[in-house]
């Protein structure tokens, strides 16, 4: 029977609970929690908002790719990736390498309520902008190994579902090397 995945990567749109679920899941599995955005902020010595404002999105995406590469070397970790990370093909491949990738799929209305448009998320906009961005990104998120609907589940329930999936996964070795 294959081992449980050494790395679990949570992907999906802003406000779907990647960090809240990631922290709990890591605790449950006795894995370390890694927040890709926090690593980028520490590395840059700036907040994401400052990075976007001062250096632009391309500079942020370059750092995101580098951090995804660094994280792809880690074991026994749960990684929360920012909402755009899985959309960039090179970054997506790094995040997928040897990991179980999980799309936390959320209902747009619930996501909109959760995402504050206070500038801390530079790409968060009004309902129409968010709807268009989500539609554009969905084909990328679908490339995750598994999907978990988070809209009617509390973080604890999402974690329960993921643990069930991981246990099932151990019987069918479908995670790419
Ligand atoms: C982004 C989402 C953010 C952060 C950055 C860009 C995106 O992460 O990486 O603001 O492109 O959707 P969260 O999904 O954790 O909000």
List residues bridging with 9 in a β-sheet. 79, 101
Could you give the 3-state DSSP secondary structure of residue 57?
helix
Distinct helix (H) and strand (E) counts, the chain: 7, 5
Nearest CA to ligand 1 atom 8: 82
**pLDDT score of 95 more than 70:** yes
Give the pLDDT band of residue 101 (cuts 50, 70, 90).
very high
Mean residue pLDDT of the chain comes to: 92
**pLDDT score of 175 more than 80:** no
User: 12, 83, 105, 108: which to mutate for ligand 1, most atoms within 8 A of CB?
Assistant: 83
pLDDT in tens, 132-157: 999 999 999 999 999 999 988 999 99
The reply to whether ligand 1 has any atom less than 6 angstroms from the CB of 121 is yes
Give the pLDDT band of residue 169 (cuts 50, 70, 90).
low
Share of the chain above pLDDT 70, in %: 93
What are the strands of the beta sheet with 100-105, ordered from one edge?
Answer: 32-35, 77-80, 7-11, 100-105, 146-149
Mean pLDDT confidence for 54-78: 97
pLDDT of res. 1: 42
Mean pLDDT confidence for 112-120: 78
**Ligand 1 centroid – CA 82 distance (Å):** 4
Q: How far apart are CA 71 and CA 61, in angstroms?
A: 15
The answer to whether residues 54 and 46 touch, using CB atoms and an 8 Å cutoff, is: yes
The reply to whether ligand 1 has any atom less than 6 angstroms from the CB of 88 is no
């Amino acid at each position: 029977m294959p081992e449980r995945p050494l790395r679990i990567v949570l992907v999906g749109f802003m406000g779907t609970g990647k960090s809240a679920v990631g922290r709990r899941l890591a605790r449950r599995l006795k894995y370390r929690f890694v927040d890709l955005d926090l690593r980028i902020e520490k590395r840059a010595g700036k907040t994401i908002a400052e990075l976007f404002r001062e250096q632009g999105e391309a500079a942020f995406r370059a750092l995101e790719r580098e951090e995804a590469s660094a994280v792809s070397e880690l074991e026994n970790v749960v990684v929360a990736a920012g909402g755009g990370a899985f959309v960039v093909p090179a970054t997506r491949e790094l995040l997928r390498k040897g990991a179980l990738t999980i799309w936390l799929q959320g209902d747009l209305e619930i996501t909109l309520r959760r995402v504050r448009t206070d500038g801390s998320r530079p790409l968060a906009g009004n309902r129409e902008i968010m709807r268009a961005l989500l539609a554009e990104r969905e084909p990328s998120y679908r490339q995750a190994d598994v999907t978990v609907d988070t809209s009617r589940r509390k973080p604890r329930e999402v974690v329960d579902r993921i643990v069930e999936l991981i246990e099932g996964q151990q019987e069918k070795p479908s995670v790419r090397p």
